[in-house]
């Protein structure tokens, strides 16, 4: 079995190409055009745009085929995107991704998966036990068809019964996986950044990356407040969901979206304002997030070639003067007055209430 080895430094050299470049596989011009940044102190450089594979399960009410997914992944990787993110929680994502990765050079990408969150069944949704983490990760590798991943992440740790469960059991379990050579780096993910930082500071296991989502959007840019901390500690900061899980789209958020009513109403107002101005809201949202140079990589869910091409276009092209004006108006005048720009603790409280009701507790 090929084992993971840590890199301590990176150097593009005279070629101007990243270590993930593979001659004959990549579009040379596209790779040279891609923006790459250091992923914390891991020694690897990642593309500014990361490939989120959660839509491979057909989420957000989309219908996708395995062939769509394979084509989208190849389009992304050959264009210089070199960071892929998946998880068991994303349904068939790992399985479909494993099929799509066949025939693609392993050195052409970095890949991250997760442990701790699994099923839609409320009683089986989370399991941060060492036994489940170890067996679940074995299953992830099998589905992906890989000997190792680059990053193994404890998924949505704020849903654990208490921080000690993460600190004393989950993180030591992923450390054991790392020591076995089946993962190179360790990460944690979740929505509340303060809680992620608390776990990072208390952990005796070295944490290499922190992933949070929906905190670097038109409606909430609070993730930037944590950049100095991450840089000081040398921990990689990974961002996800620049469209705020569908909130910043004409279609609007899915029914399960945890955004409070005030924020939903503001988002709907932003959609109407953009339509009147003849401007695309998702484009403004994507551009805002991808223009933040202090964030090494932003994960965006993609499952079609057109989505890949559209996102690359936003990354490489500046907004027009009109688009910038509309973007600034939305941030200042539509989302600015909103008191609750996020939904801290709402999902966690809802989860525990539903779980206790399902188990018949608290009666």
Q: Which residues contact 354 (CB under 8 A, 6 or more apart)?
A: 122
Does the structure show a pLDDT above 70 at 61?
no
Angle between helices 171-179 and 130-144 (to 10 degrees): 50
DSSP for residue 147: S
What tokens does 85 get?
């993110």
Give residue 59's pLDDT: 65
Cα first-last separation, the chain? 52
Three-state SS for 122?
Answer: coil
Does the structure show a pLDDT above 60 at 12?
no
User: Could you read off the pLDDT of 177-203 as tens digits, one per residue?
Assistant: 999 999 999 999 999 999 999 999 999
Does the structure show a pLDDT above 60 at 280?
yes
Query: Which residue in 36, 83, 90, 109 is the catalytic one?
Result: 90
User: Could you read off the pLDDT of 221-263 as tens digits, one per residue?
Assistant: 999 999 999 999 999 999 999 999 999 999 999 999 999 999 9
User: Could you read off the pLDDT of 68-105 as tens digits, one per residue?
Assistant: 999 999 999 999 999 999 999 999 999 999 999 999 99
Does the structure show a pLDDT above 50 at 6?
no
Give residue 361's pLDDT: 76
Does the structure show a pLDDT above 60 at 13?
no
Does the structure show a pLDDT above 80 at 5?
no
Say whether 273 is catalytic: no
Three-state SS for 261?
Answer: helix
Give residue 15's pLDDT: 65
Cα torsion 265, 270, 271, 277: sign: positive
Interatomic CA distance for residues 34 and 42, integer angstroms: 20
Q: Which contacts qualify for 352-360: CB closer than 8 Å, 24 or more apart?
A: 354/122, 355/122, 355/123, 358/122, 358/123, 359/123
Give residue 14's pLDDT: 44
Does the structure show a pLDDT above 80 at 142?
yes
Alpha helices in 125-249 (DSSP H): 130-144, 163-165, 171-179, 193-202, 227-233
Confidence of residue 3 (pLDDT cuts 50, 70, 90): very low
Confidence of residue 7 (pLDDT cuts 50, 70, 90): very low
Question: Burial level of 251, CB count in 10 A (0-12/13-18/19+)?
Answer: exposed
Confidence of residue 16 (pLDDT cuts 50, 70, 90): confident
Q: Which residues contact 171 (CB under 8 A, 6 or more apart)?
A: 154, 186, 188, 203, 204, 205, 207
Specify the residue for token string 């190849």.
Answer: 74
Mean pLDDT of the chain: 94
Interatomic CA distance for residues 282 and 307, integer angstroms: 12
For the entire predicted model, the pTM comes to 0.94
Three-state SS for 157?
Answer: helix
């Amino acid at each position: 079995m090929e084992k993971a080895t840590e890199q301590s430094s990176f150097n593009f050299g005279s070629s101007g190409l990243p270590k993930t470049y593979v001659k004959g596989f990549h579009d040379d011009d596209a790779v040279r055009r891609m923006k790459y940044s250091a992923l914390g102190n891991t020694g690897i450089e990642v593309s500014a745009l990361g490939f989120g594979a959660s839509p491979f399960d057909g989420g957000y009410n989309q219908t996708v085929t395995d062939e769509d997914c394979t084509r989208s992944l190849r389009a992304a990787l050959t264009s210089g995107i070199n960071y892929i993110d998946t998880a068991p929680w994303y349904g068939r994502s790992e399985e479909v991704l494993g099929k799509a990765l066949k025939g693609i050079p392993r050195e052409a990408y970095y890949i991250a998966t997760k442990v701790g969150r699994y099923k839609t069944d409320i009683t089986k949704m989370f399991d941060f036990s060492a036994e489940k983490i170890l067996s679940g990760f074995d299953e992830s590798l099998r589905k992906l068809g890989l000997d190792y991943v680059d990053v193994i992440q404890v998924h949505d740790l704020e849903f654990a019964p208490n921080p000690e469960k993460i600190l004393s059991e989950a993180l030591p379990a992923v450390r054991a996986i790392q020591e076995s050579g089946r993962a190179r780096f360790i990460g944690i993910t979740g929505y509340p950044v303060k809680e992620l930082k608390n776990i990072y500071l208390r952990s005796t296991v070295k944490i290499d990356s922190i992933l949070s989502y929906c905190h670097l959007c038109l409606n909430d840019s609070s993730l930037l407040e944590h950049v100095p901390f991450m840089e000081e500690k040398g921990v990689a900061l990974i961002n996800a969901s620049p469209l705020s899980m569908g909130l910043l789209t004409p279609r609007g958020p899915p029914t399960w979206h945890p955004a409070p009513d005030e924020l939903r109403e503001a988002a709907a107002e932003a959609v109407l304002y953009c339509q009147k101005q003849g401007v695309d809201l998702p484009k403004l949202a994507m551009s805002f997030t991808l223009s933040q140079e202090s964030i090494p990589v932003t994960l965006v869910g993609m499952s079609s070639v057109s989505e890949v091409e559209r996102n690359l276009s936003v990354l490489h092209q500046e907004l027009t003067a009109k688009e910038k004006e509309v973007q600034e108006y939305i941030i200042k005048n539509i989302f600015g007055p909103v008191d609750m720009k996020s939904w801290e603790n709402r999902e966690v409280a809802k989860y525990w209430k539903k779980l206790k009701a399902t188990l018949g507790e608290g009666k």
